[in-house]
Amino acid sequence: MLKLDSLFDLKGKVAIVTGGGDGIGKGSCEILARAGAYIVVSDLTIEKAQAVADEIVKDGGKAIAVACNVLKDEDLVALVDAAVKEYGTVNILVNNAGGGGGGRENPFKVDLAYFERIFNFNVFSAWRLCQLTVPLMAKSGYGSIINITSMGSINKSPNMSAYAASKAALNHMAANLAFDFGPMGVRINNVGPGATRTHALETVLTPEIEAKMLEHTPIKRLGTVEDITGAVLYFAAPVSAWVSGQVLFVNGGGVQTLD
Amino acid sequence: MEALDKLFRFDNKVIIITGGAGAIGSAAARLFSSLGANVVISDINEDKLKALAASISKETGHEVLGIKADSTIESDMKMLVDKTVEKFGKISGLINNVGWGAATKLWDSNTEKMVKSYVLNTVGAYNLTKYCMPYLEKEPNASVVFSNSMVGTTPSPEFIEYSTAKAGLRNMVHSMAVASGPKVRFNEVIIGSVDNGDATLEAGYDPEMLRRISEGIVMKRRGLPVDIAYAMMYLMSNAASWITGVEINVDGGGMYESKMPTD
């Protein structure tokens, strides 16, 4: 009889998670570790990455922490090197680090350097990590990449043009890379969270904002980290072996915009 | 593993699967039954249905009920719901999987053929879902998953009846999703080229076409019925409890070129 573990078995698979120090990144590290993966927790702040790795090890898993500024190419190279040095290869990559937006991108108040930085953060770093890890994945015989995109990639809002355009680029980049990596046995998919109760959101959330966000959300609650990491696990695991190039929005069926 | 069980087990759930004697339907039935659900499979092929129900139940130790029902007959859909509730007392999930379409040249269809395809692929799912709704609304994380096809999302002149009906189904699912939260979730699996055994050949494919299709798929193979069942399982599961109104293409990463030559 079929056992669940076999569908989600990641025992001994090596997973890099960027921005793994908190929120969706931390949750991704935890769920992949529970499925048996060895985790390379990377974060800009080493203390946060180390705390997540320590917790995984305490629970009987395997994990290391690596400081990484995804805006620096030498950090990306060092991150992959650290994974290979510790565990021999890379099988799973969760491109979770990213940022920008927040309604602060007035096109007449930000400069081109800002726009470039956001693309570097959300698109170029993910592309570079794919370039560095996919040959390892292909050689090892198992590879799955998950990019954390955003509802911003399809929403239309004022003062969001850099972030929204970069996340849309991330979606289409993945759709195209699926064609490049598919014949190598490597899959790539994007998960698009709606408004998720992370620490970052909780700091600005009021009952009024929450009510507004739920006006156009069929499932009348905000997302949890577990809602998003369930999708990360689905795409990371053998259960989705014939799925690539997808963008899956985990958003309660709606958009949590404020206008 | 406990964490996985919490997300992906279906103990004490009652799940109806239409087209349950076919390749994908039976793979889904076997999967959900393995994961603890009581499964009701419906099909028009009664002999196959009964044999399958008995074999799955023996394998998994969970009850599997086979009910002969024709998705094109509304009273059959009501009967399917009544018998399910009579046996199990509730309905937790529904997989509207039945569907089929023959290859037809673009201008060779007619009113009768177009309507027949619409009734089979779209209206049947509407009727069954409608009769299930009062029961689904009472259950936690109730979920309806629809089998759709890439013919419903891309221009498919070689399957004009089937593709038009499936495109209609897609819009119907989105309408159900926006109107039926938070009680019931509605999602679709858009199915690529799957080895459905006999049904594939009946639909007008020949071995040369199938070879070309495999070569054209990014992951260089046609799907297995179980690949589709896995995606249905995820969308039905607790892990997907904040997901409604989405579609997942389960298609081996897509096609490099047109799925069938047109003439």
Are the beta carbons of B230 and A240 separated by less than 8 Å?
Answer: yes
Classify residue A57 as exposed, middle or buried by CB count within 10 Å of its CB (0-12, 13-18, 19+): middle
AA letter at B215: E
The domain tally of chain A equals 1
Tens-place pLDDT, residues B188-233: 999 999 988 777 777 677 888 888 888 889 998 999 999 999 999 9
pLDDT band at residue B261 under the 50/70/90 scheme: low
Counting residues of chain B whose pLDDT is more than 70, the rounded percentage is 96
**What does DSSP assign to residue B222?**
P
Owning domain of residue A171: 9-249
Q: Is residue A257 part of a domain?
A: no
Q: Is the pLDDT reported for residue B263 higher than 50?
A: no
- Give domain status of residue B263, yes or no: no
Instruction: Please state whether A36 falls in left (phi above 0), alpha (psi between -120 and 50) or beta.
Output: left
Q: What is the pLDDT of residues B126-171, one digit of tens each?
A: 999 999 999 999 999 999 999 999 999 999 999 999 999 999 999 9
Is there a domain that residue A70 lies in? yes
Q: For residue B57, give its domain range.
A: 12-250
Test A233 with B239 for CB contact under 8 angstroms.
Answer: yes
Neighbours of A141 (CB within 10 A): 9
CATH number at residue A98: 3.40.50.720
In a domain, B7, yes or no: no
Q: What is the mean pLDDT of residues A144-155?
A: 96
Average pLDDT, chain A: 95
Give chain A positions within 8 Å (CB) of B36. none
Please indicate, yes or no, if residue A259 is contained in any of the structural domains. no
CATH number at residue B70: 3.40.50.720
Helix axes A112-119, A161-181, angle to 10 degrees: 40
Going by pLDDT thresholds of 50, 70 and 90, the confidence category of residue B243 is: very high
Answer whether residue A87 is part of any domain. Answer: yes
pLDDT tens-digit profile of A63-111? 999 999 999 999 999 999 999 999 999 999 999 999 998 888 999 999 9
ipTM here: 0.91
> Is A48 within 8 Å of A22 (Cβ atoms)?
yes
Report CA dihedral (B60, B65, B71, B73) to the nearest 10 degrees. Answer: 180
Predicted local confidence at residue A1, as pLDDT: 59
Number of domains in chain B: 1
Q: What are phi and psi of A192, to 5 degrees?
A: -110, 100
- Read off the pLDDT of residues B42-75 as tens digits, 9 standing for 90 and up: 999 999 999 999 999 999 999 999 999 999 999 9
**What percent of chain A shows pLDDT beyond 90?**
89
Higher pLDDT, A61 or B211: A61
How far is it, in rounded angstroms, from Cα B6 to Cα A249?
22
Q: Mean pLDDT over residues B233-239, rounded?
A: 98
Mean pLDDT score of chain B:
93
Q: Is A4's CB within 8 Å of B218's CB?
A: no
Q: Specify which residues B146 forms β-bridges with.
A: B96, B188
The answer to whether residue B106 sits within a structural domain is yes
Does B256 sit within 8 Å of A194, measured CB to CB?
A: no
Q: Does any CB of chain B come closer than 8 Å to the CB of residue A245?
A: yes
Q: In degrees, to the nearest 5, what angle opens at C-alpha B120 toward C-alphas B198 and B146?
A: 85
Judge whether A5 is closer than 8 Å to chain B, CB to CB: yes
Is A163 catalytic? The answer is: yes
Sheet holding B14-18, edge to edge: B64-68, B38-43, B14-18, B93-96, B142-149, B184-191, B247-250
Mean pLDDT of B173-184: 93
**Nearest residue to A56 (alpha-carbon basis) of A83, A36, A74, A71:** A36
Q: Residue A194 belongs to what H/E stretch?
A: none
From the centroid of its chain, how far is CA B118? 15
Tell me: pLDDT of A3 over 90. Answer: no
What is the distance in angstroms between the Cα of B244 and the nearest Cα belonging to chain A?
5
* Annotated active-site residue in A87, A114, A163, A234: A163
Distance CA A7, CA B177 (A): 28
> Per-residue pLDDT for A221 more than 50?
yes
Tokens of B36: 């603890």
Residue A1 lies in a domain: no
Question: Does any domain span residue B73?
Answer: yes
**Which residues of chain A does B182 touch, with a Cβ-Cβ cutoff of 8 Å?**
218-221
pLDDT at A186 over 90: yes
> Is residue B262 situated within a structural domain?
no
3-state secondary structure B182-218: CCEEEEEEEECCECCCHHHHHCCCCHHHHHHHHHHEC
In a domain, B6, yes or no: no
